[in-house]
Structures are given as C-alpha cells and as structure tokens.
Amino acid sequence: MLDPDFAVAWDLMARTLLQFYLQPYDESWRLRPVLEEARDAAYRAVALEPDFSTAHATLGYVLLWLREHDASLKALRKAISLSPNDTVAFGMYAEALSFSGDQEAAIAAWDRAPSSIRSRLL
C-alpha cells in the first residue's frame, strides 16, 4: 500500500502506470483508464510536494498522452523552472511542443536544453 503522503511513491506510481499504458506488457496497454489513473497519481504527487520537479515533469508527460497539450506544457515548464538542468524534463518539453504542433518552439527548446541532453540524443 502506498503511503498516502509520500509524493515520490505517487510519482513512481504515475510513471509505472504510464509505462503500462505505453508498452504492451499486458492487457492494460493503451487503455485510457490506466492513463487516467497515472494522471491522478501524478496530480497527487504534485499536490503533496509542489516543488518536486520530477512530479511536474511526470504530470506533463502523462497529460501529453491524454492530449491535454496546454496543461502538459504548463506542467513541463514548471518542472524546468524548478530544475533548469533536468535533461529529461527538457526532452519531454520539446516532445510535447512537437506533439502540440509547434515544431519551431520544439526546436528552440532543444536549442535551450542543457548540452548534456543534446549530445546524448543527436
């Protein structure tokens, strides 16, 4: 059972559920209720620890897959503002911009990302 007040556990739950949605591990693959449960866990993590940048990044990525682009971008910008060197959050942010249809902003985000992420992905 999850500690109801432990933000890290809720963030990990959200990320795990997202992976079950994205990967064909079992029958939960691509089922919207799994993604909605991931969203709820991510929101809980953010509510418990508002300065936990990883939770904001997770929330943003889950919202991306729910096609809630504006909310996704907002959460990812918050993650980056809390942790400006978080290469994972920058990658998610650029991907979210691309998915939302703003290719120029996605490229600009990659250009602003810490050099460590660009060198790993190019």
pLDDT in tens, 25-72: 888 889 999 999 999 999 999 999 999 999 999 999 999 999 999 999
Place of tokens 């997770």: 58
Domain membership of residue 110 (yes or no) is yes
Question: Nearest-CA neighbor of 45 among 53, 85, 87?
Answer: 53
How far does the chain reach from its first CA to its final CA, in angstroms?
41
Domain membership of residue 73 (yes or no) is yes
Take residue 26 and report the two structure tokens written for it.
């079992």
Total domain count for the chain? 1
In this prediction, residue 118 has a pLDDT band, given cuts at 50, 70 and 90, of low
Q: Give the contacts of 12 (CB within 8 A, at least 6 positions apart).
A: none
Look up the pTM and report it: 0.90
CATH number at residue 22: 1.25.40.10
Domain membership of residue 1 (yes or no) is no
pLDDT in tens, 67-85: 999 999 999 999 999 999 8
Alpha carbon distance 74, 69 (integer Å): 9
Domain membership of residue 55 (yes or no) is yes
For residue 58, CA distances in Å to 12, 34, 104, 119 come to: 9, 15, 23, 23
Take residue 122 and report the two structure tokens written for it.
């190019």
Domain membership of residue 105 (yes or no) is yes
Domain with 50, as residue range(s), is 7-121
Domain membership of residue 12 (yes or no) is yes
Domain membership of residue 64 (yes or no) is yes
Alpha carbon distance 98, 101 (integer Å): 5
Domain membership of residue 2 (yes or no) is no
